[in-house]
Amino acid sequence: MKKYLLIAFAVLLAGSLGFYFYTQSRLDYLPEWYEQDASEPAVSMPEDKLPESPAVPDEEAPVAVDTEEDRTPARKPAAAPAPAAKKTPAPQPEVTAKDVAKTLQEAHTVRIRQDELDDLIRTTLEQQFPGKSTEFMKGVKSTIAEDKVDVEMVVDMEKIPWEDLPKDAQFARGLIEQFGGIKSGSELFLKISGKPEIRENELVFDDNTQVQMGKISYPLKTLAALPGVSDKISRIPLSKLGFKQLTLEDGAMVLGK
C-alpha cells in the first residue's frame, strides 16, 4: 500500500513540476516589438582611419613649370555662404487625460491615435503612481482597428506598487503567483484584446475580449467571474470617463460627448 502511495505521490510531484515549468515558460514570453527595442544596438562611429594616398615615386613626380600666371597674384575666392542651420522640431508633449478632457469640453469630440493612446496610458499611470510608473512600466504598444483595440504592455512585476492598486486589481497578483510567482527583475507581458462599447451608460468590453499573460490567455468574463473579483474590471460608468460616444476606426478612436 505504501509503495503505491509513494508511486502516486511521485507521479503527482512530476506532474506538478512539469506544469510549473510549462506555465513558467509560457509566462516568460516577451513580444517581438519589445525585444527589438531592448536589443537595438547603439550607433557608433568607425574608428578606422581613411587610407593614405600612395606616395608618387620621384621619377614619376610631375615637374612644376614657372609661368606668367604663377607670378601674378591670385585673387582670393569669395567665401562660400554658411549653410543654413537645420531646425530640429521640438519634441511633442505626451497626451494626458487633462488634454483629452479639455478638447472634449471645447470641441465635443476628440480623435485619439494609437500612439497617443500609448501616451495616455503612460501619463495616466504616472499621475496615479508619481515617480513609480517608469520603474514598472517597461513598454506599451496599442493597436486600434475598426473591430477591436489591442493594448500590450511589458511590466516589471517586482516593482509594481501592489499596495496602491484598487482592490479589484489585487486578484492579479494572486493569479500570477499561482502560475509561477514573481521573480526578482521578472518582466511580464500583458495584453487586453477586445472591442470597447457603450451600453447602458457604461463602457464595457465585448464577450470575446481576452486578457493575456505571457502566452496564457483568459476570457475577460471568466476572470471577472472568479471569486473575489468584481465585474467592475470590465464595466466602467461613463460618469467617470467624461464621454458618451465611442467609435473605432483603423489607427484611432473617436470620443464624443
Lowest mean pLDDT among 4-8, 129-133, 134-138, 171-175: 4-8
Indicate whether 39 belongs to any domain.
Answer: no
Q: What is the pTM of this model?
A: 0.69
Bigger pLDDT: 13 vs 227? 227
Indicate whether 66 belongs to any domain.
Answer: no
Indicate whether 117 belongs to any domain.
Answer: yes
Please tell me what DSSP assigns to residue 82: P
169, exposed or middle or buried, with CB in 10 Å at 0-12, 13-18, 19+? middle
For residue 231, what pLDDT is reported? Answer: 66
When divided into structural domains, the chain yields a total of 1
| Residue 179, number of CB atoms within 10 A of its CB | 17
> Taking 80 as the threshold, does the pLDDT of residue 62 lie above it?
no
Indicate whether 44 belongs to any domain.
Answer: no
Indicate whether 187 belongs to any domain.
Answer: yes
**Bridge partners, 249 (sequence order):** 252
- On the CB side of 82, CA atoms within 13 Å amount to 3
> Taking 90 as the threshold, does the pLDDT of residue 194 lie above it?
yes
Indicate whether 119 belongs to any domain.
Answer: yes
Q: Per-residue pLDDT tens for 12-57?
A: 444 444 545 555 667 788 999 998 876 665 444 444 444 444 454 4
| Residue 108, number of CB atoms within 10 A of its CB | 12
- Which of 41-50, 119-128, 155-164, 179-188 has the highest average model confidence (pLDDT)? 119-128
Indicate whether 27 belongs to any domain.
Answer: no
162-172 average pLDDT score: 71
Single-letter amino acid code for the residue at 134: T
Q: Per-residue pLDDT tens for 70-107?
A: 555 555 555 555 555 555 555 677 888 889 889 988 99
- Domain residues for 202? 97-256
> Which grid cell sits at 234?
470590465
Angle between helices 114-128 and 97-107 (to 10 degrees): 120
Indicate whether 28 belongs to any domain.
Answer: no
- Which of 65-69, 103-107, 191-195, 222-226 has the highest average model confidence (pLDDT)? 191-195
> Which grid cell sits at 117?
493612446
246, exposed or middle or buried, with CB in 10 Å at 0-12, 13-18, 19+? middle
